[in-house]
């Protein structure tokens, strides 16, 4: 299994490749991520990648624009 590392950082910048967040992600941080062109994915992406033992494509776990923060990326509540 390949071990991938990341950093927990509250400052968003171009060195990042994506942002993980659900309803606890502040709206201004989500907006900043989108301004930088960073995909915003649900925490389910991390969980499912751990279960599968590999980094899954984040495309299925993207948070759509304008969705209420209590909704999940996969259409579940």
The pLDDT tens digits of the residues spanning 7-64 come to 555 667 777 888 998 888 888 888 888 898 999 999 999 999 999 999 999 999 998 8
| Predicted local confidence at residue 16, as pLDDT | 82
Q: Does residue 25 lie in a domain region?
A: yes
Q: Are 28 and 7 a contacting pair, CB within 8 Å?
A: no
Which residue range is the domain that position 37 belongs to?
19-61
Q: Does residue 7 lie in a domain region?
A: no
Question: Would you state the structure tokens that stand for residue 51, as one six-digit string?
Answer: 């279960």
Distance linking the first and last C-alpha atoms of the chain:
31
Q: Does residue 40 lie in a domain region?
A: yes
Q: Is the dihedral of CA 49, 55, 61, 64 positive or negative?
A: positive
Q: Does residue 49 lie in a domain region?
A: yes
Residues 21, 67: Cα–Cα separation, whole Å: 13
Asked whether the whole model's pTM tops 0.75, one would answer no
Torsion of CA 62, 65, 67, 70, to 10 degrees: 50
Q: Does residue 57 lie in a domain region?
A: yes
Q: Does residue 67 lie in a domain region?
A: no
The total of structural domains in the chain comes to 1
Q: Quick: pLDDT tens for 10-20.
A: 667 777 888 99
């Amino acid at each position: 299994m390949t071990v991938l590392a990341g950093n927990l950082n509250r400052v968003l910048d171009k060195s990042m490749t994506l942002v993980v967040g659900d309803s606890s992600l502040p709206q201004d941080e989500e907006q900043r991520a989108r301004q930088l062109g960073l995909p915003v994915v649900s925490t389910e992406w991390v969980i499912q990648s751990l279960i599968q033992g590999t980094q899954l494509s984040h495309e299925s776990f993207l948070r759509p624009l304008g969705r209420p923060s209590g909704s999940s990326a996969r259409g579940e509540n």
